[in-house]
Homo-oligomer: A and B are copies of this chain.
Amino acid sequence: MTHVIGVDLGGTKTAAGVVSPSGEVLMTETIPTLNRAGGEAILDATAALIAGLVERAADAGHSVSGVGVGSAGVIDASSGVVVSATDAISGWAGTALVDGLSSRLGLTVRAVNDVHAHALGEAWFGASAGSASSLMIAFGTGVGGSFVLDGAPVLGHRFVGGHVGHFASPLAVSDGVPLPCVCGSTGHVEAIASGPAIYEAFLRFGGSSSEALDTRGVFALAAAENHDGGASFAASRDAAVRAVDAGAAAAGQAVGGLINILDPETVVISGGLADAGGLWWKPMEAALRRELLAPLAAVPVLKASLGNSAAIIGAAKLVLL
């Protein structure tokens, strides 16, 4: 059987890989995304990246039958056009992603949003492989997710489905006022549970930017053994513990509520925060399980297992579906 190319097109870099029909990634290449050069320049660079991999695959004796792309932004999976995108990639909205790549390459191309590709990868070959339905939620710079049902992500009627960071959280509040969310609304899960939100909470709780420069620093501080760092260190360490706990509790509460609504066979948690260890995972899972209805008490909640390959593998699966 022929192989396919999976592409993970993000705001800062674009990774692509040759994927076998059984989901193995044979070879990968990564380029910076030309996020200030506009849609056509990105398509040129991405097509060149893919063409190089097609050649390498041919050298190894594998023909390539198609290309699947998981891309940042809202992607119309029917027309293959980028419906909208954040400022992270200027000029990306409106780009004819599928037609642009297929005319450049002469190959079948399919595309979805990168979070849906990520979830499809985990459902096909990762943590939720073999499940009839799975809910994947990624907690990192943002909060996103995808419900994969019978082998296909539920994209939504306007391809906007999966914005699980944008519903109300009782914990996304400061002094009784809902926290602002990047979407323009307030009080959403993402405003307390994303990585940047945890850093903001750390500062709000009295942490000092001289003790932690970013979210990673907050986690290091929260995990630090107490030492004679003085009052500023102790106050910042307390703030770090509180900020991680608040973010994790909001994350778990949100996922638990979604499980009550969707009842997926398996739940997969992904993203940078899921990789941060028990400091985040334990309060997250405790909050999650507190929300669950009795018949859902045993639902498996697993850490994503494919790492950076998930979206490449899931994107490849689009062409193999």
Residues of A within 8 A of B (CB): 74, 83-84, 131-133, 145, 147, 149, 154-164, 166-170, 172-173, 178, 183-185, 187-188, 253-254, 256-258, 260-265, 290-296
Contacts and interface: CB of A to CB of B under 8 A. Distances in A.
Contact of A167 (B147, B159, B178, B256): B256
Given A132-B157, A149-B154, A293 B166 contact: yes
18 contacts: A83-B295, A84-B294, A84-B295, A147-B262, A154-B262, A156-B264, A157-B263, A157-B265, A160-B260, A160-B296, A161-B263, A162-B261, A164-B260, A166-B257, A166-B261, A168-B257, A169-B170, A185-B290
Given A184-B294, A295-B158, A296-B158, A261 B167 contact: yes
A84 B297 CA distance: 14
A167 B74 contact: no
A251 to B, nearest CB: 12
B133 A168 contact: no
A262 B156 contact: yes
Nearest to A255: B167
Best-surrounded residue of A145, A154, A264 (most CB of chain B within 10 A): A154
B253 A161 contact: no
A293 B160 CA distance: 9
Given A159-B263, A185-B291, A254 B170 contact: no
Contacts of A132: 157
Contacts of A169: 168, 170
Nearest to A172: B170
Nearest to A298: B158
Nearest 6 A-B pairs (CB), nearest first?
A167-B257, A156-B263, A161-B263, A157-B265, A166-B260, A170-B170
Contacts of A131: 157
Nearest to A157: B265
Contact of A293 (B170, B183, B258, B296): B183
Contacts of A184: 294
A291 B166 contact: yes
Contacts of A253: 168
A164 B178 CA distance: 22
